[in-house]
Structure 1
Amino acid sequence: MRVDEVLIDRQDSIRSALQAIELAGSSRAFIVDAAGRLLGAVSESDIRRALLDGAGLESSSYPLMQDAGVSTKPGTGRAEVLDLMHALGVRELPAVDADGRIVQVHTERAVAGIRRRYNSAVIMAGGRGTRLAPLTDDVPKPMLPVAGRPILERLVLHLVGWGISRIFISVNYLGELIEQHFGDGSAFGCRIDYLREERTVPLGTGGSLRLLEQYGEITEPLLVMNGDLLTDFSVGGLLDAHSSEDVVATVATTQYRHQVPFGVLEQANGRLARILEKPAPSWPVNAGIYVLDPDLISKIPDDRLFPITELLDQCLKQGWPVGLWPIREQWQDIGRPLELAQARGEG
């Protein structure tokens, strides 16, 4: 959508505001001054009330102006924009530069306009989170807030924003708090069911997947992810990569970099060949996000601790190919106090 389609100036009429709303398919028109700086917004509902009170279509729209509310900065990522829309209950969100000018208007239709995915997703949220105690004494780790919203809610909204409407959450420790928050998922634009572990029999990151059988057959590749991640990874990119390769599973990876605090000496034939001063090598590591072919679910044992990495080891032993897919977007694990503090901007 062109930004000028939803902008009007303070002299424009109610008719002009309605035309802008209709053209943009939005719920509000934004009023700007001569320099394009945001002044406020006129909503469709405010116009309707004014017309019922006797205002005419040629009446000025400026008296109906309300504060435009929250805006975002130019260049804000799609996932964050969609999360803000869901949190604020708005269908459009203006992007405003440092001078107060509107440079873009994000609409829900455009931002969420990614094709529907028929894949289901499982979020593992049953861990005790002992490393984050005492914060997790009364709150399950995935429900700890970052920037005012639980980590798990961010993940759910991210998946929904990528077209996934069927989500399972694996719960154990304080799982009732998670179920109370999300309910059946309808308030978050999806359907949510729960894989409930026995409190005394934790099943690990893979064992609870066997509980999916109670909900019927899974026919599409299954997205599985840990519930303590902050990430805006490309869900569609991962699913498409898995489908395009001849693999039974795909593991999302991120880079781990280690700073060596010394000069490293490389040798050849017992003599110094080169000095590398404090190198920082990196390796691809497991990001805690996977895509699994549905047939693998039956390979998971019942009622015992079963890390998902054990399933991957079984695939390798059987000679079944497992793919790797690098995450290029934001990714952060929130498993330790320092990581949580960094995510909250406290460290």
Structure 2
Amino acid sequence: MEVKSREVKGVVLGGGRGTRLAPLTERTSKQLLPIGDKPMVSRVIGQLSRAGIRDILLLIDQRHASQYLDTLRDGSDLGVQSLSYVWQNPDGKGLPTAINQVRNHVGDSKIVVACGDVLFDDSLEKPVEYFLNKQLGAHAIGAFMRDSAGYSPLVTHGNHITEILDKDKNRHTPAIVDIGTYMYPPDVFNKIDQLKPSERGETEIWELNKKYAAKGTYTYSQINGWWIDAGSSLSLYEEANDHYS
């Protein structure tokens, strides 16, 4: 698929303290940890590149900025046209607040946001093509889980997301869940401005996405095959390593 850079830009979330992967993250970012023979974030950027997204904005903070620059440099080895580094508050004020940091860098382009620690085998090419052809609203990547405890299940009708349920560690039910890849039109920044911090003092990604679901303009594509939230625990990080070994 031929994608013009003015149409869409990739946004990779590379901040966060990575406490769930301690002690591995005491001196580096979790997204820079190796998965097989590559840094985790390189695999995420590579997936965007293979879907035709060649202009990447990578959110980082000052704790590991020099390591990112030393490792990824200008991104040319990853198949991208441009790799730009965008500063993020190290305190972490929620994913929408992090996404808001790129608003001055994207103009009227659509954006594909990817968490830098979620990996999957399936291709993003068809979901990105669908999103670029959409006239209104946002798009998400979903995956089926037999046990959705701890995730936000998506209530769907056709390929539309009608409702986003709260996370519940005790709800052991099968569901489609979002896996941390979101596609937004330029109006996302106005919607972020409308968000208020939750009880934990952060803006919440599900509150942002609910705004699209309430308008009937939030759709999704379901990936198939293997996927993993490699940054959520040491055991899952080890599983990801085994998968790519």
TM-score, scaled relative to structure 2 = 0.76
**Larger CA deviation: 186-195 vs 330-339:** 186-195
Shift in CA distance, 155/117, structure 1 to aligned 2, threshold 3 Å: farther
Aligned partner of 2:52 among 163, 168, 171: 163
Aligned partner of 2:88 among 188, 193, 197: 197
**CA distance in structure 2 between the partners assigned to 1:240 and 1:217 by the alignment:** 20
**1:117 deviation in Å?**
4.6
Shift in CA distance, 184/345, structure 1 to aligned 2, threshold 3 Å: closer
Shift in CA distance, 245/199, structure 1 to aligned 2, threshold 3 Å: closer
RMSD between aligned alpha carbons? 2.6
Deviation readout 1:113-172 (Å, 9 max, x if unpaired): x43453211011101110110011112111111112111011112222222210011112
| Aligned: 1:175 with 2:65 | yes
Shift in CA distance, 226/322, structure 1 to aligned 2, threshold 3 Å: same
TM-score, scaled relative to structure 1 = 0.55
Contact 2:50 2:125 in 1 (8 A): no
| Aligned: 1:306 with 2:206 | no
Instruction: State the percentage of identical aligned residues.
Output: 23
Aligned equivalent of 1:108: none
**1:206 deviation in Å?**
1.7
Structure 1 gaps, min length 5: 1-113, 260-279
| Aligned: 1:333 with 2:224 | no
Structure 1 counterpart SS, 2:187: helix
Shift in CA distance, 242/162, structure 1 to aligned 2, threshold 3 Å: closer
Aligned equivalent of 1:293: 185
**1:281 deviation in Å?**
5.5
Aligned residues: 210
**CA distance in structure 2 between the partners assigned to 1:149 and 1:292 by the alignment:** 28
**1:249-288 equivalent positions in 2, closer than 5 A:** 249-258=138-147, 282-288=174-180
| Aligned: 1:235 with 2:132 | no
The structure whose Rg is larger is: 1
Contact 1:126 1:175 in 2 (8 A): no
Aligned equivalent of 2:20: 131
**CA distance in structure 1 between the partners assigned to 2:128 and 2:15 by the alignment:** 24
Aligned partner of 1:151 among 17, 28, 40: 40
Q: Report the AA paired with residue 307 of structure 1.
A: E
